[in-house]
Amino acid sequence: GESVGLHLPTLSVQEGDNSIINCAYSNSASDYFIWYKQESGKGPQFIIDIRSNMDKRQGQRVTVLLNKTVKHLSLQIAATQPGDSAVYFCAENTDSNYKLTFGKGTLLTVNP
Amino acid sequence: DVKVTQSSRYLVKRTGEKVFLECVQDMDHENMFWYRQDPGLGLRLIYFSYDVKMKEKGDIPEGYSVSREKKERFSLILESASTNQTSMYLCASTDREQETQYFGPGTRLLVL
| DSSP one-letter string for B22-39 | EEEESS--SEEEEEEEET
Label residue B36 by pLDDT band (50, 70, 90): very high
pLDDT (tens digit, 9 = 90+) per residue, B39-71?
Answer: 888 899 999 999 999 999 999 999 999 999 999
Search chain B and give the residue with CA nearest A42: B105
| pLDDT score, position A3 | 35
Average pLDDT over chain B, rounded to whole? 94
Search chain B and give the residue with CA nearest A44: B103
Average pLDDT per run of 10 along chain A, which is 112 residues long? 56 96 90 93 94 95 96 96 95 78 92 90
* Rounded Cα gap, residues B48 and B32, in angstroms: 6
Q: Does B42 sit within 8 Å of A104, measured CB to CB?
A: yes
Cβ contacts of B102 on chain A, cutoff 8 Å: 46
From B91's Cα to the closest Cα of chain A, the distance in A is 9
Report the alpha-carbon angle A35-A38-A43, nearest 5.
110
| pLDDT score, position A2 | 35
Does residue A33 belong to the interface with chain B, where contact is any CB pair within 8 Å?
no
From A107's Cα to the closest Cα of chain B, the distance in A is 12
What separation, in Å, do the N-terminal and C-terminal C-alpha atoms of chain A show?
Answer: 32
Q: Give φ, ψ of B84 to 5 degrees.
A: -75, 0
From B58's Cα to the closest Cα of chain A, the distance in A is 9
| pLDDT score, position A67 | 95
More reliable by pLDDT, B28 or A95: B28
B51: helix, strand or coil: coil
Cβ contacts of B41 on chain A, cutoff 8 Å: 5, 104
Does residue B18 belong to the interface with chain A, where contact is any CB pair within 8 Å?
no
